[in-house]
């Protein structure tokens, strides 16, 4: 016979066990070939160790996570990208969108890997030896404004009128000048992006143009390229920088996971 005190203790223990079981989920970063192994000290979101769940010739990069803990901080986003981008340097990887959490390792296999096995295997084979790079250019503000004003007599006239009148009397002129600058920047961005695409074309035909995220963005192009041709890409971006001199600052980011070209579906998709 069990006393009421013993019964309460057993119930509390069972409840605690249930809570412990509910406290662990599996966060999935991306899909890789089954022979990929994470580095021993690799950590992901919330500093959890990175592990791998395999199914046949494919696998998922995962870590344990507390489902009750908030996701979406800048640190979480950086950790997600860090694991995927680091992997892309040594193996093909299919990134999952941020926030893919399943109940356990069996769910990773049954709801993700087995469900999309052929699709994932084909995509990984196509990505072998490749990674994504971002070619970014940003206009130098003073240089591009001077260029626009020099090319547009109306902009020159408006700028002169702004210098000659008090600010409270120049609202319409400032709005008109801002519209000219905005429209001209959009046209220059389109032209300069075309120039960059032409320069990159000998290296790859797998490119996509990203939408600008800043008014002064000149070029944002994602490129899928063989990693062993990175030196050629760096040279091409350097040539563009020299061509545009102090007008546009150029930057090359990568290698990174192919976010703009292949994104694996979440388990629930």
In angstroms, rounded to a whole number, what is the distance separating the alpha carbons of residues 76 and 44? 8
C-beta separation of 15 from 23 below 8 A: no
Specify the 3-state DSSP secondary structure of 225: strand
**How does pLDDT run across 117-135, given as a tens digit for each residue?**
999 999 999 999 999 999 9
**How does pLDDT run across 69-82, given as a tens digit for each residue?**
888 899 999 999 99
**How does pLDDT run across 204-261, given as a tens digit for each residue?**
989 999 998 888 899 999 999 999 999 999 999 999 999 998 899 999 999 999 999 9
- Separation in Å, CA 183 to CA 97, 147, 171, 188, 195: 34, 14, 18, 9, 19
**How does pLDDT run across 147-206, given as a tens digit for each residue?**
888 887 777 766 666 666 666 556 666 677 777 778 888 899 999 999 999 999 999 989
pLDDT attached to residue 19: 46
- The closest of 249, 263, 198, 254 to 225, measured between CA atoms, is 254
pLDDT attached to residue 190: 93
How many other CB atoms are there within 10 angstroms of residue 159's CB atom? Answer: 17
Percent of the chain at pLDDT > 70 equals 83
Q: Say what the pTM is.
A: 0.79
CA 190 to chain centre: 22
């Amino acid at each position: 016979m069990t006393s009421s005190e013993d019964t309460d203790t057993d119930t509390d223990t069972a409840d605690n066990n249930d809570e412990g079981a509910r406290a662990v989920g599996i966060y999935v970063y991306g899909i890789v070939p089954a022979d990929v192994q994470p580095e021993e000290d690799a950590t992901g979101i919330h500093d959890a160790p990175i592990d791998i769940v395999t199914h046949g010739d494919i696998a998922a990069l995962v870590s344990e996570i507390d489902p009750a803990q908030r996701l979406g901080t800048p640190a979480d986003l950086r950790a997600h990208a860090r694991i995927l981008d680091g992997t892309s340097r040594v193996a093909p990887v299919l990134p999952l969108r941020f926030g893919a959490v399943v109940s356990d390792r069996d769910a990773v296999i049954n709801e993700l890997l087995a469900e999309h096995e052929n699709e994932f295997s084909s995509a990984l084979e196509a990505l072998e030896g490749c990674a994504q790079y971002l070619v970014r250019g940003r206009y130098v503000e003073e240089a591009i404004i001077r260029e626009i004003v020099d090319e547009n007599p109306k902009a020159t006239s408006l700028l002169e009128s702004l210098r000659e009148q008090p600010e409270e009397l120049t609202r319409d002129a400032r709005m008109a000048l801002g519209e000219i600058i905005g429209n001209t920047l959009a046209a220059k961005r389109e032209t300069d992006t075309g120039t960059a695409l032409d320069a990159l074309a000998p290296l790859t035909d797998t490119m996509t143009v990203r939408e600008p995220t800043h008014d002064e963005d000149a070029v944002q192009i994602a490129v899928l390229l063989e990693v062993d041709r990175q030196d050629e890409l760096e040279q091409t971006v350097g040539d563009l920088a020299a061509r545009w001199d102090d007008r546009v600052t150029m930057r090359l980011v990568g290698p990174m996971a192919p976010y703009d070209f292949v994104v694996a579906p979440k388990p629930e998709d």
